[in-house]
Chain A
Amino acid sequence: MYKLKINLEVNGRKINKEVNSHYRLLDFLREDLDLTGSKEGCGAGECGTCSVFVDGKLVKSCLMPVAKASGKKIETIEYQGTPDNLSTLQKAFYQTGASQCGFCIPGMVMAATSTLRNNPDANIEEIKEEMGGNICRCTGYQKIFDAVELARDVISGKLDPKLLEQYSKPKDSYLGANVKRIDAPSKVTGRLKYAADMKMPNMLHMQVFRSTKPHAKIKKLDLTKAKQVPGVETIVTCDDVPGIDNFGVFIEDQPVLARDKVRYVGEAIAAVAADTLEAAKEAISKIEIEYEDLPALFDSEEALKDKILIHEHYKTNLVKHIPIRKGNVEEGFAKADLIVEEKFSTQAVEHAYLEPMAGVGYVDSDGTLVIISPSQNITHHRHMMAKIMNLPIHKVRFIMSPVGGGFGGKEDMIYQGMLALCAMKTRLPVKYVMTREEDIISTAKRHPSRTNYKIGLTKEGKITAVQIKMIADGGAYGCSTEGVMRKAAILGAGPYRIDNLQMDTIGVYTNNTPSGAFRSFGALQTEFATESILDICAEKLNMDPFELRRKNMFVAGDLTHTKQKLNSASIGTVLNELETLANWEKGAPNSRGQIRKDLNSNDNRDSCFLGARLNDKLRLSGGIK
Chain B
Amino acid sequence: MAAAWYGIARTAAMDQAGAWAEIDDGGTAKVLTGVTEIGEGILTVLAQVAADELGIKPEQVTIGDNDTSRSPEAAHAGATRQTYMIGNAVAMACRNAKDRLFSEIAKEWNVEKEILQAHDGEIWANGTNYKMPMSDAVKICKKKYGVVPVGSGNYTSHHTGLDPVDGSGKPWQAYVFGGQVAEVEVDTATGEVQILGIWACHDVGKAINPKGVEGQIEGGVVQAVGQALMEDYQQVEGHTTTGSFAKYILPTSLDVPKVTSKIVEDLDPLSPLGAKGIGEPAMVPTAPAIMNAIYDAIGVRIQSLPATPEKILRALDEKKRKSNGKSIN
Interfacial residues of chain B within 305-320, with CB under 8 A of chain A in the complex = 305-306
Contact of A182 among B34, B43, B207, B288 (CB under 8 A): B43
A603 B258 Cβ-Cβ under 8 A: yes
Interfacial residues of chain A within 172-214, with CB under 8 A of chain B in the complex = 172-183, 213-214
Interfacial residues of chain B within 222-271, with CB under 8 A of chain A in the complex = 222-224, 226-227, 231-235, 237-240, 242-246, 248, 250, 252-260, 262, 264, 266, 269
A532 B256 Cβ-Cβ under 8 A: no
Q: Once the chains are docked, how many angstroms separate the CA of A141 from the CA of B257?
A: 10
Q: Once the chains are docked, how many angstroms separate the CA of A50 from the CA of B289?
A: 35
Interface 9-residue window, one of B22-30, B102-110, B145-153, B186-194: B186-194
B197 A603 Cβ-Cβ under 8 A: yes
- Given the complex, which residues of B lie within 8 Å of A382, measured CB to CB? 68
Q: A345-B305, A347-B227, A578-B201 are in contact. Are A129 and B39 (CB under 8 A)?
A: no
- Given the complex, which residues of A lie within 8 Å of B283, measured CB to CB? 519-520, 524
CB-nearest residue of chain A relative to B73?
Answer: A379
Contact of A584 among B171, B181, B218 (CB under 8 A): B181
Interface 9-residue window, one of B47-55, B125-133, B134-142: B47-55
- Given the complex, which residues of B lie within 8 Å of A137, measured CB to CB? 219, 223, 250
Contact of A605 among B36, B48, B68, B196 (CB under 8 A): B196
A46 B244 Cβ-Cβ under 8 A: yes
Contact of B3 among A172, A298, A575 (CB under 8 A): A575
A604 B180 Cβ-Cβ under 8 A: no
Interfacial residues of chain A within 98-113, with CB under 8 A of chain B in the complex = 100-102
A508 contacts B by Cβ under 8 Å: no
B325 contacts A by Cβ under 8 Å: no
Q: Once the chains are docked, how many angstroms separate the CA of A412 from the CA of B257?
A: 32
B264 A511 Cβ-Cβ under 8 A: no
- Given the complex, which residues of A lie within 8 Å of B183, measured CB to CB? 596, 604, 625
Q: Once the chains are docked, how many angstroms separate the CA of A438 from the CA of B319?
A: 42
Per-residue interface assignment for chain B, residues 62 to 80, with 1 indicating a CB less than 8 Å from any chain A CB and 0 otherwise: 0101111100011111110
- Given the complex, which residues of B lie within 8 Å of A291, measured CB to CB? none
CB-nearest residue of chain B relative to A375?
Answer: B36
A408 B253 Cβ-Cβ under 8 A: no
Q: Once the chains are docked, how many angstroms separate the CA of A128 from the CA of B194?
A: 15
Interfacial residues of chain B within 144-182, with CB under 8 A of chain A in the complex = 162, 164-171, 175-181
B181 A527 Cβ-Cβ under 8 A: no
A495 B3 Cβ-Cβ under 8 A: yes
Contact of A400 among B58, B66, B171, B175 (CB under 8 A): B66
Contact of B197 among A140, A175, A368, A604 (CB under 8 A): A604
A23 contacts B by Cβ under 8 Å: no
A138 B219 Cβ-Cβ under 8 A: yes
A399 contacts B by Cβ under 8 Å: yes
Q: Once the chains are docked, how many angstroms separate the CA of A32 from the CA of B202?
A: 48
A138 B39 Cβ-Cβ under 8 A: yes
Q: Once the chains are docked, how many angstroms separate the CA of A582 from the CA of B38?
A: 31
Interface 9-residue window, one of A152-160, A455-463, A545-553: A545-553
Q: A527-B285, A532-B291 are in contact. Are A378 and B66 (CB under 8 A)?
A: yes
Q: Once the chains are docked, how many angstroms separate the CA of A408 from the CA of B36?
A: 12
Contact of B238 among A265, A347, A410, A524 (CB under 8 A): A265
B59 contacts A by Cβ under 8 Å: yes
B303 A532 Cβ-Cβ under 8 A: yes
B257 A604 Cβ-Cβ under 8 A: yes
A323 B165 Cβ-Cβ under 8 A: yes
- Given the complex, which residues of A lie within 8 Å of B291, measured CB to CB? 528, 532
CB distance from B202 to the nearest CB of A (A): 7
Per-residue interface assignment for chain B, residues 285 to 313, with 1 indicating a CB less than 8 Å from any chain A CB and 0 otherwise: 10111011001111101011110000000
A569 B59 Cβ-Cβ under 8 A: no
Q: Once the chains are docked, how many angstroms separate the CA of A564 from the CA of B172?
A: 9
A520 B169 Cβ-Cβ under 8 A: no
Per-residue interface assignment for chain A, residues 88 to 105, with 1 indicating a CB less than 8 Å from any chain B CB and 0 otherwise: 000000001100111000
How extensive is the interface on chain B, given as a class?
35 or more
How many residue pairs at the A-B interface have CB separations less than 8 Å? 471
- Given the complex, which residues of A lie within 8 Å of B259, measured CB to CB? 140, 142
Per-residue interface assignment for chain B, residues 194 to 226, with 1 indicating a CB less than 8 Å from any chain A CB and 0 otherwise: 101101111100111111101101111111101
Contact of A264 among B12, B238, B244, B254 (CB under 8 A): B238
CB-nearest residue of chain A relative to B232?
Answer: A347
- Given the complex, which residues of A lie within 8 Å of B65, measured CB to CB? 399-400
- Given the complex, which residues of B lie within 8 Å of A567, measured CB to CB? 269
B66 A622 Cβ-Cβ under 8 A: no
Q: A379-B68, A380-B76 are in contact. Are A42 and B194 (CB under 8 A)?
A: no
- Given the complex, which residues of A lie within 8 Å of B170, measured CB to CB? 562, 564
Q: Once the chains are docked, how many angstroms separate the CA of A321 from the CA of B311?
A: 32
Q: Once the chains are docked, how many angstroms separate the CA of A187 from the CA of B178?
A: 31
- Given the complex, which residues of A lie within 8 Å of B177, measured CB to CB? 495, 554, 569-571, 574
A128 B253 Cβ-Cβ under 8 A: yes
A432 contacts B by Cβ under 8 Å: no
B77 A406 Cβ-Cβ under 8 A: yes
B296 A591 Cβ-Cβ under 8 A: yes
Interface 9-residue window, one of A75-83, A228-236, A482-490: A482-490
A173 B52 Cβ-Cβ under 8 A: yes
A581 B262 Cβ-Cβ under 8 A: yes
- Given the complex, which residues of B lie within 8 Å of A131, measured CB to CB? 253
CB distance from B93 to the nearest CB of A (A): 16
Interfacial residues of chain A within 352-394, with CB under 8 A of chain B in the complex = 352, 368, 375-380, 382, 394
Contact of B69 among A133, A394, A402, A520 (CB under 8 A): A394
- Given the complex, which residues of A lie within 8 Å of B208, measured CB to CB? 175-176
A573 contacts B by Cβ under 8 Å: yes
Per-residue interface assignment for chain A, residues 586 to 613, with 1 indicating a CB less than 8 Å from any chain B CB and 0 otherwise: 0001111110100001011111101000
A495 B4 Cβ-Cβ under 8 A: yes
Contact of A403 among B36, B255, B301 (CB under 8 A): B36
Contact of B1 among A175, A322, A578 (CB under 8 A): A578
- Given the complex, which residues of A lie within 8 Å of B162, measured CB to CB? 322, 324, 486, 490, 562
Q: Once the chains are docked, how many angstroms separate the CA of A47 from the CA of B299?
A: 35
B124 contacts A by Cβ under 8 Å: no
CB distance from B325 to the nearest CB of A (A): 20
A100 B219 Cβ-Cβ under 8 A: yes
Contact of B305 among A138, A347, A607 (CB under 8 A): A347
CB-nearest residue of chain A relative to B289?
Answer: A531
Q: Once the chains are docked, how many angstroms separate the CA of A7 from the CA of B167?
A: 69
B75 A379 Cβ-Cβ under 8 A: yes
B301 A344 Cβ-Cβ under 8 A: no
Q: A47-B245, A532-B303 are in contact. Are A179 and B201 (CB under 8 A)?
A: no
- Given the complex, which residues of A lie within 8 Å of B52, measured CB to CB? 173-175
- 7 closest A-B pairs (Cβ-Cβ)? A214-B238, A101-B39, A604-B197, A324-B167, A531-B288, A140-B218, A377-B76
